[in-house]
A and B are shown apart, each in its own frame.
Chain A
Amino acid sequence: MTTPERDHPSMLELRNVSKTFGSVVALSDGNLALESGSIHALVGENGAGKSTLVKIIAGLYRRDQGEYLLRGESVDFTSTAQAKDAGIAVIYQEPTLFPDLSVAENIYMGRQPTNRVGRIDRKTMRTEARKIFERLGVRIDPDRVTEGLSIADQQLIEIAKAISLDARVLIMDEPTAALSGNEVARLFSVARSLRDEGRAIMFISHRFDEVFELCDTITVMRDGAYIATTPAHETTIEEMVRMMVGRDVATLFPKVDAEIGDVVLHVDGLNRAGVFHDISFSVRAGEIVGLAGLVGAGRSEVARAIFGVDSYDSGSVTLLGKALPAGRPAEAVRRGLAFVPEDRRKQGLVLDSGVARNLTLAVRNSLRRFGLIRTRDENRLTEAWATRLQVKAFAMDTVVGTLSGGNQQKVVLGKWLSTEPRVLIIDEPTRGIDVGTKAEVHRLLSDLAGQGLAVLMISSELPEVLGMADRVLVMREGRISAEIDRADATPENVMLAATHQTEAAR
Chain B
Amino acid sequence: MTVPTTAAGSIAARRTALAKVGARLLSREAGVAATLILVVVFTTLQNPNFVFSPDGYRDLLLTPSILMLVAVGQAFVIITRNVDLSVGSIVGITAYLTGRLFIDIPGIPVLAVFLAGAIVGGALGLINGALVAVARVPALVITLGTLYIYRGLNVAWVGSDRINASDLPREFRSLGTEQILSIPVLTLVAVMVLIAAAWYLRNTRGGREFYAIGSDPDAADLYGLKVNRRIITAFVMSGALSGLAGVMFAARYGTVSSQAGTGWELQAIGAAVIGGVAISGGVGTVWGAAIGAFLLLTINRALPVIGIQDFWQRAVVGALIIGAIVLDRVLAVRQARKLRELRDTNND
The answer to A–B direct touch (Cβ < 8 A) is: yes
**Which chain A positions have C-beta within 8 A of B224?**
79-81, 84, 110
Separation in Å of the B209 CB from the closest CB of chain A?
6
Contact check, B344 vs A274: say whether CB atoms are below 8 A apart.
yes
State the CA gap A296–B347 with chains docked (Å): 10
Within 8 A of B (CB), among A67-99: 79-81, 84, 96-99
Contact check, B212 vs A109: say whether CB atoms are below 8 A apart.
yes
Which of A118, A147, A180 has most B Cβ within 10 Å? A147
Contact check, B204 vs A98: say whether CB atoms are below 8 A apart.
no
- Look across to chain B and name the residue whose beta carbon is closest to the beta carbon of A148: B339
**Which chain A positions have C-beta within 8 A of B204?**
118-120
| A100 interface contact, C-beta 8 A | yes
Contact check, A101 vs B282: say whether CB atoms are below 8 A apart.
yes
- Look across to chain B and name the residue whose beta carbon is closest to the beta carbon of A153: B343
**Total cross-chain contacts (CB, 8 A):** 100
**Which chain A positions have C-beta within 8 A of B214?**
100
| B311 interface contact, C-beta 8 A | no
Separation in Å of the A394 CB from the closest CB of chain B?
28
Separation in Å of the B338 CB from the closest CB of chain A?
8
Contact check, B339 vs A110: say whether CB atoms are below 8 A apart.
no
State the CA gap A97–B21 with chains docked (Å): 15
State the CA gap A98–B220 with chains docked (Å): 8
**Which chain B positions have C-beta within 8 A of A141?**
15-16, 19
| B96 interface contact, C-beta 8 A | no
**Which chain B positions have C-beta within 8 A of A153?**
343
Contact check, A478 vs B219: say whether CB atoms are below 8 A apart.
no
| A347 interface contact, C-beta 8 A | no
Within 8 A of B (CB), among A141-155: 141, 143-145, 147-150, 153
Contact A109 B343, CB 8 Å, known A100-B282, A143-B21, A274-B1: no
Contact A182 B21, CB 8 Å, known A81-B224, A98-B216, A100-B282: no
| A35 interface contact, C-beta 8 A | no
Q: How would residues 151 to 187 of chain B score, 1 for a CB under 8 Å from any chain A CB and 0 otherwise?
A: 0000000000000000000000000000000000000
Contact check, B203 vs A120: say whether CB atoms are below 8 A apart.
yes
- Look across to chain B and name the residue whose beta carbon is closest to the beta carbon of A182: B347
Within 8 A of A (CB), among B333-348: 336, 339-344, 347
**Which chain A positions have C-beta within 8 A of B339?**
145, 147-148
Contact check, A98 vs B222: say whether CB atoms are below 8 A apart.
no
Separation in Å of the A222 CB from the closest CB of chain B?
29
Within 8 A of A (CB), among B57-73: none
| A111 interface contact, C-beta 8 A | yes
**Which chain B positions have C-beta within 8 A of A182?**
347
**Which chain A positions have C-beta within 8 A of B150?**
none
Contact check, A100 vs B215: say whether CB atoms are below 8 A apart.
yes
State the CA gap A311–B282 with chains docked (Å): 30
Separation in Å of the B156 CB from the closest CB of chain A?
42
**Which chain A positions have C-beta within 8 A of B340?**
148
- Look across to chain B and name the residue whose beta carbon is closest to the beta carbon of A106: B212
| A114 interface contact, C-beta 8 A | yes
| B310 interface contact, C-beta 8 A | no
Contact check, B222 vs A105: say whether CB atoms are below 8 A apart.
no
Within 8 A of B (CB), among A47-80: 79-80
| B55 interface contact, C-beta 8 A | no
Contact check, A99 vs B215: say whether CB atoms are below 8 A apart.
yes
Separation in Å of the B190 CB from the closest CB of chain A?
23
Contact check, B19 vs A109: say whether CB atoms are below 8 A apart.
no
Contact check, B282 vs A98: say whether CB atoms are below 8 A apart.
yes
Cross-interface CB contact of B205 among A79, A99, A110, A147, cutoff 8 Å: A110
**Which chain A positions have C-beta within 8 A of B344?**
274
Contact A100 B223, CB 8 Å, known A119-B204, A120-B203: no
Contact check, B223 vs A110: say whether CB atoms are below 8 A apart.
yes
Cross-interface CB contact of B1 among A98, A147, A478, cutoff 8 Å: A478
Contact check, A119 vs B215: say whether CB atoms are below 8 A apart.
no
Contact A119 B203, CB 8 Å, known A101-B212, A110-B223, A143-B21: yes
Contact check, A149 vs B208: say whether CB atoms are below 8 A apart.
no
Contact check, A143 vs B16: say whether CB atoms are below 8 A apart.
yes
State the CA gap A145–B16 with chains docked (Å): 10
| B2 interface contact, C-beta 8 A | yes
State the CA gap A145–B20 with chains docked (Å): 7
- Look across to chain B and name the residue whose beta carbon is closest to the beta carbon of A99: B215
State the CA gap A173–B94 with chains docked (Å): 53
State the CA gap A110–B213 with chains docked (Å): 11
Contact check, B19 vs A101: say whether CB atoms are below 8 A apart.
no
**Which chain B positions have C-beta within 8 A of A149?**
343
Contact check, B222 vs A101: say whether CB atoms are below 8 A apart.
no
| B50 interface contact, C-beta 8 A | no
**Which chain B positions have C-beta within 8 A of A437?**
none
| B211 interface contact, C-beta 8 A | yes
| A404 interface contact, C-beta 8 A | no
State the CA gap A478–B22 with chains docked (Å): 34
Within 8 A of B (CB), among A385-413: none
Within 8 A of A (CB), among B268-302: 282-283
Contact check, A145 vs B24: say whether CB atoms are below 8 A apart.
yes
Q: How would residues 209 to 234 of chain B score, 1 for a CB under 8 Å from any chain A CB and 0 otherwise?
A: 10110111011101111000000000
**Which chain A positions have C-beta within 8 A of B225?**
109-110
Cross-interface CB contact of A143 among B19, B203, B208, B211, cutoff 8 Å: B19
State the CA gap A147–B20 with chains docked (Å): 11
Within 8 A of B (CB), among A260-318: 273-274, 277, 296
State the CA gap A149–B21 with chains docked (Å): 14
Cross-interface CB contact of B208 among A96, A105, A148, A274, cutoff 8 Å: A105
Contact A112 B208, CB 8 Å, known A101-B215, A120-B203, A145-B19: yes
| A230 interface contact, C-beta 8 A | no
| A102 interface contact, C-beta 8 A | yes
Contact check, A100 vs B209: say whether CB atoms are below 8 A apart.
no
Contact check, B209 vs A110: say whether CB atoms are below 8 A apart.
yes
Contact A101 B211, CB 8 Å, known A110-B223, A143-B20: yes
Separation in Å of the B75 CB from the closest CB of chain A?
15
Contact check, B21 vs A477: say whether CB atoms are below 8 A apart.
no
Contact check, A150 vs B347: say whether CB atoms are below 8 A apart.
yes
Contact check, B21 vs A98: say whether CB atoms are below 8 A apart.
no
State the CA gap A147–B208 with chains docked (Å): 17
Separation in Å of the A399 CB from the closest CB of chain B?
20
Contact check, A96 vs B218: say whether CB atoms are below 8 A apart.
yes
Cross-interface CB contact of A144 among B19, B209, B223, cutoff 8 Å: B19
- Look across to chain A and name the residue whose beta carbon is closest to the beta carbon of B217: A98
**Which chain B positions have C-beta within 8 A of A477?**
1
- Look across to chain A and name the residue whose beta carbon is closest to the beta carbon of B281: A100
Separation in Å of the B81 CB from the closest CB of chain A?
11
Contact A114 B205, CB 8 Å, known A96-B218, A98-B282: yes
Given A98-B216, A145-B24, A147-B339, output 5 extra A-B contacts at Cβ < 8 Å: A109-B212, A109-B223, A110-B223, A114-B205, A274-B341
Query: Residues of A at under 8 Å CB distance from B?
Result: 79-81, 84, 96-102, 105, 109-112, 114, 118-120, 141, 143-145, 147-150, 153, 180, 182, 273-274, 277, 296, 477-478
Would you give 29 A-B contacts (Cβ < 8 Å), ordered by A? A80-B222, A84-B224, A96-B223, A97-B216, A97-B219, A98-B211, A98-B216, A99-B282, A100-B214, A101-B211, A101-B215, A109-B208, A109-B223, A110-B224, A118-B205, A120-B205, A141-B15, A143-B20, A144-B15, A144-B16, A144-B19, A145-B19, A148-B19, A148-B342, A148-B343, A150-B343, A153-B343, A274-B1, A478-B1
Give 8 closest A-B pairs by Cβ, nearest first: A148-B339, A144-B19, A100-B282, A96-B219, A98-B215, A81-B224, A100-B215, A119-B203
